[in-house]
Amino acid sequence: MSSVEWNKNSLDFLDKLDKKDSERIVKKINEIKDNPLRFIKGLINKDFGKIRIGDYRLFVDLIIKEDKLIIRSIKHRKNAYK
């Protein structure tokens, strides 16, 4: 089971979302923290991965040695890759 660490930027973004979307993101993270490798997709030329939750993309770091999942940022899919 991985511990989850939220970056300040990701928490700020969650606060700005409507309650339904933010609850969905938090619920999904709590579900996948047991096996995050299954849900993390690698990005070309990046040293971090992404998790897709509905219209939002979570950019994450997984530190296997410490069993830690770090949520770097959350972005809407239309702005995620710009």
Q: Does residue 34 sit within a domain?
A: yes
pLDDT, position 64: 87
Q: Does residue 61 sit within a domain?
A: yes
Q: Total domain count for the chain?
A: 1
pLDDT tens-place string over residues 15-61: 999 999 999 999 999 999 888 889 999 888 888 999 999 999 999 99
pLDDT tens-place string over residues 56-78: 999 999 998 898 999 999 999 99
pTM for this entry = 0.88
pLDDT, position 1: 62
- List the domain range (segments joined by +) for residue 72: 3-76
What count of residues does the chain have? 82
Query: Residue 28 is part of a domain; what is its CATH number?
Result: 3.30.2310.20
